[in-house]
Each structure stands twice: as C-alpha cells, then as structure tokens.
Structure 1
Amino acid sequence: MAWAAGQRVNQGKYKILKVLGSGGFGITYKAEFDLAGFRCQVAIKTPNAALQAASPAEYAQFVQLFRKEARTMAGLRQLSQQLSMAQVTDFFEETQGRQQDPLPCLVMDFIAGTSLWDRVDQGGPLAEGEALAYIGEVGKALAALHGQGMVHRDAHPMNIMIRESRAILIDFGLACSIVPMGSAYVNAGFPHFAAPEQWRGNREPTVDIYTLAGSLYFALTARVPDLRTPPQAHKPRLSQGVNDAIVQALSLYPDQRPATMEQWLQALGQAHRAAPPPLPPPPSPPLPPSPSPSSTKPSPPPVQPVTAKTVVAVPPPRVPPSPVAGLRTETVTVGVITGVDAAGKGGRRQAVRVQRWLEDLGGGVTLALVRIPAGSFVMGSPEKEQKRNSPQGPQHRVNFPRDGWLGQFAVTQAQYQALMGTNPATGYDSEFIDPQKPVVGVSWDDAVKFCDRLSQNTGRAYRLPTEAEWEYACRAGTTTPFSFGETLTPDLANYDGNSTYGQGPKGIYRQKTTTVGSFPANPWGLYDMHGNVWEWCLDPWSDNYSWKTEDHPALKDGTVILPYSNTSRVLRGGSWYYFPWDCRSANRGWSTRDIFINNRGFRLVLASRTPSPVQPVTSKTVPAVPPSRVPPSPVAGLRTETVTVEVLTGVDAAGNGGQRQAVRVQRWLEDLGGGVTLALVQIPAGSFVMGSPEKEQDRGSDEGPQHRVNFPRDGWLGQFQVTQAQYQAVMGTNPASRYDSKFIDPQKPVVGVSWDEAVKFCDRLSQNTGRAYRLPTEAEWEYACRAGTTTPFSFGETLTPDLANYRGDYTYGQGPKGIYRQRTTTVGSFPANPWGLYDMHGNVWEWCLDPWSDNYSWKTEDHPARKDGTIILPYSNTSRVLRGGSWSAIRGLCRSAYRNRSTRDYFNFIRGFRLVLASRTP
C-alpha cells in the first residue's frame, strides 16, 4: 500500500509529504528529514504495490539485489557531487505495518526544479543549443556511471531535472537495473524511451545511449520517439548532423549505435558546431474557403473550413431542455459573467436559472449534468489571438445536430470515492484533499475506467468529452479568448495569478486546487472551464486540426470512433499551476495517457446511447461442448467462395498418429483493392471451457480458473493472420520492411505492429467498408483456436515442426525435436484447425483486444464482455493480451490456453494480428 501524506517512516526519521511519481517498478515520495532539529527535503523510492505482491522467492531476490545496488550507489557520492546527478544519502528497510519482508527504501537528494518533460510540455521544443547543453551534462554523468560498471536505464525526460539552467539526472535507474533477470518485472522502464532489448533484460551501456537520444529527440521536437518517423520530419529546423546522430542512437539494433556514450556526445558536439543557422519556420497557410452549405444531409455533416481568419460563432438558441430519462432534475441559479475587456474590467454580471440532471452515486453523492444545446461553432483560435500557437489551428466549423449533456463540474473526490472506492488525491499535500475539490492524480486510463464503471452501474453511456465537445461547451457561444471575455483575472478562475494576459491585472497565485464552483459559471452554467485542473479529453493528440478524417475521432449517432494511434491524449482548460494563456478556450495540452499528477482531472459526457450490460459467466470447470457445424450464414456485402483445407486432429503425446482430412470451407472475401482480399470464416455459435486444466504441462496460474464462456451467435474471424500485402493495401505502408529481408514477403504475416497500430488498421478498414472490424477478445481467440478440442493444441497432445512454425529444437511432452526456422513463414503453410483457421499455433503472436489480467478471477466490470456485438473495454492499464506463440517461441507457449502480454505501444518482429468481423456496423 502507498504511504499517506503525513506518515512517518524509519522510526520517525522521515515524514512523507506527497507522492512524486509512480512507474512500472517503484513509487517515489517527497519527504522531510527531521532529526535533532535539522530538516531538509529528500526523495524516497520504494517498490510499488505490484512488485510488493510478487512471489516470496522473487521478492527476496529483489530485496537482496536492492541492498547491493544501494550500497554501490552510496559509494558514488563523490562522483555524484562532481557531475550532474543526484546522490544517494541513505538506505533503510521499513518494517512498520508489515507482517514479513521488510520494505527496502532508498533515500536520495530531492532536486527541486522542473523536469525536462514539463519544461517542453509547457514551453514547447527547445532550441538546439539549449537541448544539447542539457543532454551533454546528463551524458557525462552517464559516461561516468558506465565507467563504474553500472547503467542507468531510465534517463528519460521525467528523470532529468532542470534547475538554474543545469540538468541533473535523478532516480539512478534502480527501477530497472536491479530487477532479477527472468523476472516478471524485467520490463520496468518508461516504454517510449526504453531500448527494445531493455525489455528483455539487457543492461549494456547502449541502452542508456538509446534512452538519452530519445530524451534529446523529445527536447527538440516535443514528441516521444517513434522509430517509424525520422526526427527530421517533425522539426525542419533540426540540423542534419544532429538528426543523423539521433537516428543512429535510436537504432533497433544495439551494435548499430555508437559504442560508447563519449562517442555519441562527441558526434553531437561536432554536428552542432558544423550546422548552418536554422531556417525560419514556414508561414501558416491561409484558411481555405467555406463550401456552400447543404440542407439535405440527414446525418451530421463533416467538419467544414471557415471563410475568414476570424469568424463570428453562431451561439445555439436556448430552448427548453429536453428531459433525460431516469435522472432526477432540479433548477438552480448560477452567477454568469461575460464581456470582460482586455484590462479585466467591465463585463456583464447576471443570475441565470439552469435546469440540471442528477445522477445518484450513492451515499448522498450526486453528479450534476447540464444540457449542451445543438448548434455550431468555429473551433480553434484566430491567428492574431495572443499566445496562439499552431496546434490551435486551422480554424474550422464543427456542427452538433443534437443536444448533449456535460458535467457541470469537474469530477470531485467525493464522486470518485463513491464510485471507485479510492481517492487518488490522498497521495498529495493536504491542501489538495477535500471531498468537494476536483479529484487529481488520475491518468486518462483512470478517467476512462471511471466512465466505464459508471456506465455499467447506471445503464447510461458516460464517457470523456471529445475536445471539440469540450471547446464548444467552454465557449458557450462566445468567440473571445475566454468565455468571460478578453482576459482572465484571479477572481474569475484559479490559475497562476502572478502572470497576466493582455492588459489584465496580476493577482493571487493560490498554488492549490479550489472547491468546484468557487468562481462564476460560463453562459451555459458550466464551472471551472478555465483553470483549477486540466481536463482529460477522449481524443488522441494531433499536432493541429489538419488531420485526415479517418485519423481523428468522429461522432455520429452518439458513437465515438477512436483511433489508437498513439498514447498521448488531449488535455483542456489549464490549471491552478499554469499561466492565464494556458487557460484559454482554444488552448490545447497533451500528455501520455498513463501519467498522473496533481493538476489533472476530468469531467463527463452523458452520451445518447446506452451500453449493453455485462453478462457474468460461471467459474466452475465443466466439460467442453463443441459447437455443431451448421451451414454458414451469409455476410451481406461480401463475396463468397468455397475452398478445400487440410485438417489434422488427434496427434498423440509422442507426435504420432492423428486424423488427416480434407474439409470444404466456405469463406467470405473482403476486397481491399489492387487484387488483395481478406478471407473470413464462420465461427459457429456454441460454448467452451476457457483456460487450461491444472495438470496440463507448462500451465501457468494466469490460465485459470477454468470457466465456461458462451457464444450465442455466429462470428467471423480472419482465416489467416493479416499479411503484409493486406496491411499495405489498407494503410499504405509495410512495417515489416524495417527488419531483415527474411521477414519481408507480401504473403507473410505483417510484423512490427503495436496493438495501437493493429486497432488503427481495424478502424480504417471499418471506415473504408462500412463493416465493423476489430481485434478478437482473448475468449473469442481461444474458442476459435480450440475449434471444439480440449487438448493442449488443436492438433492434439503435442506439436511438431511439420504442424506449425515455432522453435522446433524444444519439445513438449514426448514430442520430437525438429527444425527451428528462425523466421516467419507464408500464412497457411501448415494444416488448418477443425474450423479452417491457419497458424493459430506459432508463426507470430496475435494481439487481442483485452487488457491484461493476472488470471480469470476478474470482476465482470473489469473485463471485456460481448453482447449484441458490443465490446465494453476498460482502459485499466497499458498492457494487452497476446495469443498463439510465434516462430521464436517454444512449444509450451503455443498452446491454445497460453497467455502472453505486452505494452500496447511495443512492436517487434514476432507480433502480428488477425481480425474479427463484428455483427454490428460502425
């Protein structure tokens, strides 16, 4: 469990002040050292809850290594005083409140300042000289660390603090370097900046070169590294030599990077000195003309460009609100201010009666919603608006043909506690903790999980607002920088009042959140749309509004189509910590979806559609009931054909025997263009027992308990893994081309795709065809893989290299050894399973829709469920399920029940996917 603010540890020697951050391995606290009247601030790092829950043997091994590493680091105090790194000052083991296994705690200098991440996040990309100066300081510290036989493995922007124009490296990478090899926690590290081999436990100095190059790339571009897009494409002013040095250091292969940190730093220095002066940025293009309006479109029209640089918004009419079924209503009076001038004076004050709807959360806690009327507005800021930047344009018209309902306030701590049973704000200073203050310390994932649970509890569809919905509601018919007028004053909102906007006055800087509703409302009765906390929006981040329609969420009939193109999500509204210009109606912020701090919260949208209820399953182990083979039902709009497939079942434990037969299979073909098709076969309705029996060889605890899953309707699954030709036809690229030539072939499975990219492929194919394609849930996958069988493999008791592509030099049961091909094979090269599906064992791991769970004892609301074709998916973590094994996996990992996982943004040459055609269209 996490320590609470005010708690004392190490026999009262340290007083916990607040949580500084949490990662995949550890949690770091800001604390106060207090002994004999001497006080100073320190940082204390301990294992997080997940690692504390490890097996006793693994935890004991971890503690032993932690002690050894802490003693080593404590011996480097002199080195850390000379270089830009924080030093270790103490090590202790906390026993208070623990029955066994003392908690190892590492005490380090607390470095006040701003992290490189926040510096770039708040101020944009750094100049090349400034960025290289910071990275050079950190690089020298890492080089010295390497000289001591150690690596950091976590030198990402959040661990680089900027103080008095100096960069100081913190955390020392203990989160990674002391984790035992082969441990379940070897993947510790910040995913976007960790070298690919680091996730396999590599501890060579080249991983630090990779991570620091990623940090430099972020400092220069304000983007996390993406190996598929060269840095030069993101920042034209980046000098070619520095660009080349970054690209080399970010190579997938360690032997292609500079051999030492010193070599890389020298290359950077030479490149920068030889670089010509940067070119000025290109001028912003003018806004395109607006097309003629059409009155005949029955569905919401697409986003239309506007005709001038500044267009007067069309405020929607205030009509009597329509009722929201199932919610209690009440009428309240709110204070509204509009028309404040550039000096912060004037303005029209009025009391407005607002009808709102109340959702009962239990325990006397309610959530208030107000109506957002149908209408139209111009999204983005005009080019001459003070502090405007390129992500806020080009301006464009957005139409909302139907009413909506938005939370009147940001979600409070009382509301979050009532629904989730916890209050994340308790990890921060007491001044942030109050039931009526907004909940803070929630990531985008946490906010979406809150929405999912509220939807399931109420039968109404709650979600985060899109950023278009958010800005429309914030402006409430106004076109000024703020809904109050031309500027912001500290009596109108909670922000850093030491700074001004326009000719506005300075004022108080509260340095904390305030109770929701403490300031005037906007014209539609919404509070705190400017300041207090940043509010998460549904959208993935885009650099501006020039996106293609298929790459951005679209709202139609209440349905949000969301591409999972990256892990960054939009934030709106500014906060108590930020400047007034950050709080403008059009300002856009962003952060990775798994980051949480004390200036971020969220509010809700009540959508017009309700989710299907989750159906529980029984957890008892029962015999399998193979579904009957019935004549396949047609799929409207798809061409059909009949093919003959070779099927093999009944292989014994020695790999012998088995019944081979030729089966005629009818399949449906989706035309992808250019002569490329995608084949689907019917997965019949039926029932099966998911998971493996306890006595199955190589069985893991995450494969149980066994439980029955029912599929009341037919489904359609890709007969093959998605090929490179199919991916190229839909997306226009082939990610496999970055690997060795032995992996590149149009008919081999596409590799090098993350879960995010696989889902994006599904989204684009759905939009192109009007049919709903997605990844299979792992229950659907295992049901289709087994195809009515109950043996470890659909072929029988074992696997042989003539049945699948895996690491054939390993055996399963009494099965024989065989060839290890060390590469992917053309899809369909081996026998099919009884339902005509190929390569369900081996070749490439296949992404599934589900977030990872440690076993099947999940609560129903925490796991995807399917009813009437609808998937209810909680965003509880960034790890996703992989199934089926691969060409590099031993046989036991290719079993029907085996489960694997990875972070959703990770890709390599052993992962691919196949598709489900859902029964509903998007």
Structure 2
Amino acid sequence: MEVVSSGAASLEIPGYQILKKINQGGMSTVYLATQRSMGRQVALKVMSPVLNADPIFSERFQREANIVGQLSHPNIVAIHDIGRYRSLNYIAMDYLPGGSVADALTRGAIEPLEALHITRQIAMALDHASNKGYVHRDLKPENILFREDGSAVLTDFGVARAVARTTRMTNTGMVVGTPHYMSPEQARGAAVDGRADLYSLGVVLYEMLTSAVPYQAEEAVAIAIKHLTDPIPRLPARHSLYQGLIDRFLAKDPDQRFQRGLDVVDAIDQLLAALDGKSPANTTKMNNTSVRVSSLLRALVMTLYGTLCDRLGATWARWRDKPLHQQHPRAEQQTIMRFQQVLQDSAPSKRRSRRYAGIIAAAVIITLVIWGKNPQWSSAPSPDPASAETELADSRSPVSAGAEPAALANSAESANLDNRGPREEAATPTVAAPSVAAAADAPAHITDSTQPAKTEGLPAEPAPTPAVEEAPPTYSLLVSVKPNDARIRIMNIVPRYSPGIALEPGRYDIEVSKPGYSTVRRWIEIGSANVNLAVELERRYFPGRNFQSPLKSGGSGPEMVVVSPGSFTMGNNQRPFTSPEHKIAIGRPYAIGAHEITFNDYDRFAKATGRALPNDQNWGRGKRPVVNVSWQDAQRYAAWLSQETGYKYRLASEAEWEYAARAGTNTPFWWGDGSAKGKANCRRGCASEFNTLFTAATAPVGNYKANAFGLYDTAGNVGEWVQDCFLGDFTNHRGDARPVQLKNCDLRVVRGGSMREPLRNISSDYRTGLSEKASSKEVGFRLVMEL
C-alpha cells in the first residue's frame, strides 16, 4: 500500500504555518496551524492523499465543509477555509483545545450539572442544524469538543445528510453510524430526522452520568438489536432525578421523544431552575418534564438510599482492606443541599414546610431501618448475552451488508441482551452496520405465468433444458501487514479474509487495524489478476501528543508527551564531565513526562505501598516536584506505575533526557542565547521569584514556559535522576539512546541542575553524579513510557 508521510515537518500548505499534529484517523489528519492572513490558530484537517481516488471519501470530506459552512452557531464548529493543494484536500476550522467529552470520560463520570449544561448546548446546536435541514447522524462523545472557556461544540459533520436524504443508506443494506449511539430507526435503516440525533444525545447524557453506555454487546448488530428491543435503562439511585430526561431521550418511538432541541433546552432549564430554588418557567406543550416538589422528595429518598448503599460498600471495602472505587461526592452533596433549598423556598406556609420536613424525616428513618435489617446488599448478576446465530463483525468497525435478515430477526427474539458493563474504549470509530429490518418476505413457491397451461389429454411439451451459467473467474488477494498480528477484514462482503482468499473481479473495502495503531482503510480493485497488498500501520502515539494513562486504582498517571525519533550532538567540549561531543541517534519514538513527578503523583504511590512520605522542606506539596527521593525510590515508583497502567514506565536514559531537553536546538539552553527570565528557576541569572538572597525553593511544575517539545522545567527547579551510571566523561559512550550500565554501579547521573544552581549549571548538557541510595532536596525525577 502507498504510504504517505504525515509528519508536520514534511507538510506544506500555502497560507498556513503547520505547528504540530494534534489528531489522526483513518481518513484524515488534524494539525494545529497558524493562518498567516489572519494570524490566528486553526485546526487544519487534511484528507489522506491515498483516499483521493475514492469518490466516497472525497464526497464525505467535501460534504462536511459544505454543511458546516451553512451552519453558523456558537455550539457548532466554524469553518474558516476549504481548499486543495496538490494532492491534499484540507479544511481550516476552529481550534478547540479543551479536549472532548470522550477525554473527560476517561477520568470517570461527569458531574451531573456539568453534564446537563453540555447536553443543553449540544441540543441548541442540533436544533439549529435541524432547522437548516440537516441531521448529524453520528453524534458521540468524540464529536463533542470544548473551547478554552469550557463551552461545548459539535463537530464532525462528515456523514451528515439533508433531511430529504435521510434514509441512512449509503449502499444497499448498509447504514452509517456508531452502534452504541444509534437510534432504533437508524439501526433499522429507516428514514431519520432530527429526533434520531436527540436519541444519540440521550445516550451521551446517560454515559456522562454513569461513565457507561446504556446498551452493550460483543457485536455491532447485537447492540443495534438492544436499541430496538431492550427497555430504557435505569439510572443509579443517586441520579434518579434525571430519569425523566433519559426516558424522553431514549423512547423507542420517535413521536414519544423530545421533538426538537429546544424542547430539550426547556426541560433542562426547568430542572436547573428547580434545583436552584427558582420558580420554573411555564412548560411548553411539547414539554412535560417539569419538576415538582413531590418529585424532588422522591429523588431525595432515592439519593439517600443510594448514598447509604455507597457508604456501606465503602465501609465493607475498608474492613476488608481493599481499595475503594472513587466516587464523585460533590455532586451528591450539591444535590442534597439544593433539595433543601428548594423545599425551604417553595413552601407556601409553615404547615406545608413541617409536612415536607416530616416526610423527609420519615424517609430517612425508613431507609435507616431497612439498612439495619439488610446489612448485606448485592446486585443480581447480569445475564450472559446470548450469541447471535449469524457471525457478525466487531462492534467497533464497519459490518458487512450481507448478513441474512432472517438471522437478525431470530437473534432479536432469542438473545438475552441486558448487558450493561463499564464503558468501552473511548474512541469508538464510525461504523457501517447492516440494516436490522431489511428483510422482505419471500413466497414459498413461484409460478411462471408466462408458460402455457397443460391441456387435458395432450402430451406435455418437454421442458427446456436450463442454461448452465459459467462461473465468473476468481483471483487471490494477499495482504501483508506490519505488525504481522494486525487484523485484516474485507468490509463489504460476508466471508472473512484469509490469506490468498479467492475473490471475483470488483472493488473491495479493506481495513487493517490493531490496538495502539492507526487504522488503515482503503478500497482496492480486483480486475484480471491476483493482488498482493502491503500495509504498514503507524503507531497511534504521534509526535507531540499529550496523554495520561488511567490507573487501576483510580485517577490518572503523570502527563506524558510523545517525542519523535531523531539525532543530535550530545555533550559539550567546554565542560570537564560532558566531553567529548558525539552524535546520538534516537531510533524509536518515546513518551517522556511533560513535568517532573509531583508530590501528588508520588504521594499516591507512597500511600498505596505503605511507604513514608518524602519531606517537602516546607515548600509545599501538591503540584511541586517531589524531592528527597533516591534513585532507588524513583525505580520503585516507575515499577508501581507500570503495574497500575499496564504500560512500561522507567527512568530516561541520559541520551533520551538530553534530546528531549534540547528540543531540537544546538545551544546550551532550549531558549537559545536570550534571557532566562520567565523560563527557569535557578539561583543566579534567572530572576526567579522563588529565589531570594537567603532562601531558594522549588516552583510548582509548569510555572515556566515549555520547550519546543512541550517539556517543562528541564532547566533548573530540581535536578532529575536518569538511568545511567555516572562516568567522568563520554569517552566510552554509545552512539544510540541506551543507558550506560555497569556492574556494582553506585553512582547515578543527575541532569538539568536545580533551583540552587547558577544559570551556567542548568544547561541541557550539564550533568553530575549522586549515590543511588542518597536523597536530596534538590533532586527529583521524570519518567519515560515506552511506546
């Protein structure tokens, strides 16, 4: 397969300065760029050149720009420019640096009030698009992004269509969408309108509240069947106040849902007004989701019940010395406080206030009695989902259109589909699934009315011998992939791919994928010869990407930034310990900490493993870099983090550290020969506010500017442990990035200088040695994650 470089350095588009790659998918790559004519930062979406020959992808790319160009709304991404340069189609749009709802969900459920505000903003965007005659057709957490001010923005109209063309069918038997967020009519392949988008928005709201999608199964069609047949899921008890919204959003019949986005806005506004203790506005004819005091009382009882169950579970876990699942207590406390405020403000008389207070007290007493009688609470195990009779494609990828409708109908009737597990991987790709209701009843027997009837008493004419059609020729398809365990699928036929599969002449949709790599999708033409296709997948961790790995015990690991391979001159002939200068080649990308490990990071490890907390010298903990940790302590933290995340973390080698600290420069400091003010924390020469004539302290990480690779505090603040044994010079140093390791090594390298060093000792090449068992108030560390 043709491989096109996607590096920002090799990409040139007139009128734009490409800064870095910020996202990549199978169809396009998004870059952060500066539009020279306006001097503003934009997200530059560039279609992969290998897809230009395919009219389907080109049409989808152009359609997104045309549709969004007609939609002007603060909650819809804005298009600034569209064009083509050589083989590159591109769209310049708003740069949205706040991440997506999917990114937020990686940290757990979203606070209910925040989820309501996000839902309200997207509902207004959908209402505007619907009024203009467009249905989004692929609303999901990945397509809801945030501006710097936190406002939500709807993006990715690549599969949107005008209402006049809303059959959702792109080819015979194929539907477009993402199974977890498809409306029932969308799954059937029926015509859809704006109410299908509101159904998808309801799924997103459910997921924001619970961090899990409402319907889950192993196969795409099984998920679609759940949307068609399963009852509307119930929210946890503490979120029961929002069940009315979910019921309206996820109604199977579009006529029973919210009819337009403004109806959603009305319902949420009334709910928010009730929670704030204000008189809700009059409901519209289409909105019957008003909140009364009686509803709040019922919700309060359920909230108390859910809270008691959570507390009981937490007590049981502590008694058994097991880690606790972190909840979001602030939302519960805020809800209860607002319930109290509503009850106080809405009571017209003391008698009513006393009555409501009595009801609340009775509810609490009853709940406590029940709790006392049933100390052991357990939830019924979820039944295992039945397997579908037809072999179906993966729920995260397009599904072939050749599935038999009868098999789908049988699986809809027989499958036990109540599977509500935790949320699957955040970035679910857009898929094409077969229409669940595409079956047409065929008669059992067909009579040819064109043949004359048999005459009584006359011999029947001999039946004509049927012509035997010659079978079409077939040719083999062989796909060679790197890595060799990648998954290969042919998306538009039923048979699974096998090496050398025999195929008739025609066009075939090939997908190659593997977790951790970017998926490759391409149409190929089989004419009159065998086809051999070579595909090499790129790793998903592209240079410049920032990410945090989730921890098994809750929370996230340190922020990492991906560094691309390259070469540089290491060392400095003007210093005794850093000569001779020598060339180093970094052969593989790696991720290195954007910041030094903080007390927040290290204290979580220390508490989890029962270690003593390191002394902070009274400078403060939190986001300040951890100090008073030895090289051995840093190694133990790296091993614990590897176990918590499932990825390999370790200390950087000297070469990796210096390459990242220099950030492509060949000067002693990453900022060149200019002033160090505002760029580093050091004793003399930095004008640091954390250093006085008599005292010196660390600065919180990220307090100063980052270098060109996105790394903070590589100069000053604290020195940093690396893997290597300390030798007096680089005479025997290698030409690659591997660390120097010796038997019985006791002295380890410290790089970067500290807040107590003068400016000349915080350069990118500065190094010193320290016993691996020693700890210092001037030394911390940052980690590398292997990709």
Shorter chain as denominator, the TM-score bin is: 0.3 to 0.5
- The higher-RCO structure (CA 8 Å, 6+ apart) is 2
More helix by share: 2
TM, length-normalised to structure 2:
0.38
More strand by share: 1
